[in-house]
Amino acid sequence: MYLSGEECEVTAMTYPGDGPTPSVLVHVTSAEGSQFTLAFLGRRDIRCMRVGSRLAIEGAVSGRETVYNPHFTVLSQP
């Protein structure tokens, strides 16, 4: 499945601990109620988004409804 401009709201964010392979996990829910995890590999922070942010997401969905390193646009902040 490929998401193209799917509008979602950030429901939770998980930041990496110490280690050689950082990644930020962003949990989102779409307007239709679908839940996805956005995995930003190699990142320790994403300063432009927080819980409650509305995003438009583009990327391929992999196993367990995960989108790796998606393209995103912040539509609004809480």
CA 48 to each of CA 11, 31, 73, 76, 78: distance values in angstroms, whole numbers, following the listed order: 15, 21, 10, 10, 12
Which is nearest to 40 in space by CA: 65, 21, 63?
A: 21
Complete domains list, the chain, with CATH: 2-76 (2.40.50.140)
Q: What is the pLDDT of residue 1?
A: 83
pLDDT digits (tens, 9 = 90+) for 32-72: 999 999 999 999 999 999 999 999 999 999 878 999 999 99
pTM of the model: 0.90
pLDDT digits (tens, 9 = 90+) for 1-26: 888 888 999 999 999 878 888 999 99
